[in-house]
Amino acid sequence: MPEFGECNKGSFFDFAFAPGYAYTFVKDNYFISGNMYAGIGEQFQLYTKNDKLRFRYKSIFKYNFRTTAGYNGDNFFCKISYDIDLNTMRVEDSRQNILLDALDFTIGFRIK
């Protein structure tokens, strides 16, 4: 059984190569876009376990999906987007699956 509970804080930095596909449909001033990416990379881990500082490099797998819809007019613009980022990482003998999802709404006015 992994002893991940002994880790009390840490920082994890990812670098990944993730090719994917994106498509945007535009009709008049409206747009809808979808993107998907999957790839592998490296993760730098800096964490404490049993009050000892540890450094590790690990291989990771990343997956990202984003969809966006909006309006781009002459006087104002707005968009709503939803982003899912899935990341797997290994710390010691433990494998962690991290899912980050975010909903974003933006509106702006053009100054002419």
Q: What is the pLDDT of residue 106?
A: 96
Asked whether 61 and 34 are in contact (CB, 8 A), the reply is no
**DSSP result, 62-111:** EEEEEEEEEEE-SSEEEEEEEEEEEEEEEETTEEEEEEEEEEEEEEEE--
Residues 68, 61, 87, CA angle at the centre, nearest 5°?
Answer: 55
Name beta bridge partners: 63: 38, 86
Q: Is the dihedral of CA 10, 15, 19, 23 positive or negative?
A: positive
- What is the rounded distance in angstroms from the CA atom of residue 19 to the CA atom of residue 63? 10
Q: What is the pLDDT of residues 20-53, one digit of tens each?
A: 999 999 999 999 999 999 999 998 888 887 778 8
Report phi then psi at 75, rounded to 5.
-105, -30
pLDDT at 101 over 90: yes
Domain ranges of the chain: 4-109
Q: What is the pLDDT of residues 65-77, one digit of tens each?
A: 999 999 999 999 9
- pLDDT band of residue 4 (cuts 50, 70, 90) is low
